[in-house]
Amino acid sequence: MTVAQKKWLRVTPCRSIPAGEGRCVEMAGRQIAIFHLREGFFAAENRCPHRGGPLADGIINGTTVVCPLHAWKFDLIAGTSTNHPESGASLTVFPTRVEDGIICVELPLETETAKTTSIVCEHRDRPLRWVQRRPLSTSPLGTESNGICSS
Q: Exposure of 55 by Cβ count < 10 A (0-12 exposed, 13-18 middle, 19+ buried)? A: buried
- Cβ neighbours of 138 (radius 10 Å): 10
In DSSP notation, 39-99 reads: TEEEEEESB-TTT--BGGGSEEETTEEE-TTT--EEETTT-BBSS-GGG--B--EE-EEEE
pTM of the shown model: 0.69
| pLDDT tens per residue, range 48-66 | 888 888 999 999 999 999 9
**Where do the domains of the chain lie, and which CATH numbers do they carry?**
3-118 (2.102.10.10)
Chain segment 91-106, per-residue pLDDT in tens? 999 999 999 999 999 9
